[in-house]
Amino acid sequence: MDTRELRHAFGTFATGVTVVTTRSDDGVPHGATVNAFTAVSLDPPLAQVTLTRTSRAARYLEGAPFAINILSLEQMDVALHFAGKAMPNEPEWTLDGFVPVLTQNAATLECRPWNIYDGGDHIIVVGEVISMEITKRPPLLFFGGKFREIGKLVEGAPWDHSGDGPESGWFAGSSSFKPFISL
């Protein structure tokens, strides 16, 4: 398998950009830029991030609380900083709670450890969301190896609400699934 081609294929999936933050045993804050983030469960409230094993932040996550900082459009320099690029200014943190949290996020999920799984050259970290903050800041996106911003809405969506909500009829409460139509 050509890893460069595989990375290119993965890069065709547009994602948000997060920074996972935690503290070392001596209380020093650490973070890593991560775009492998997903919601896992609403009940219990679980979220997942995937970090390369060589990340300094990955060393401190086992059994430790952490935050998933969902970056806003104005935080590209923060994403670059935690990806290892030298930036002129240090990111702004708040250290009031259990974990360090970045300022100016689009949203923040504070998590307690749930489980860590083997993910090859990465670790898969699942946390139970214990608190969150949502702002009105637009999110920073990543696609094709470049940072992006959200574009226009796609016209013709068959609903005015969240497509994965119970009112949509998708999955939740469905008694059967329609098969794909073969052509």
Is 175 inside a domain boundary? no
Is 96 inside a domain boundary? yes
Is 170 inside a domain boundary? no
pTM, entire model:
0.84
Structure tokens belonging to residue 151: 């574009």
- Report d(CA 44, CA 50) in Å as an integer: 19
Is 163 inside a domain boundary? no
Is 181 inside a domain boundary? no
Q: What is the pLDDT along the chain (183 residues), one digit of tens a residue?
A: 888 888 888 877 889 999 999 998 888 899 999 989 999 999 999 999 999 888 878 889 989 999 999 999 999 999 999 999 988 988 999 987 779 999 999 999 999 999 999 999 999 999 999 999 999 999 999 998 899 999 888 787 666 666 555 555 555 555 555 556 655
Is 47 inside a domain boundary? yes
Please count the structural domains in the chain. 1
Is 8 inside a domain boundary? yes
Burial of 83 (C-beta count, 10 Å sphere; 0-12/13-18/19+): middle
Which residue range forms the structural domain that includes residue 148? 3-152
Query: For residue 54, what is the domain's CATH number?
Result: 2.30.110.10
Residue 79 phi/psi, 5° resolution?
A: -60, -45
Is 26 inside a domain boundary? yes
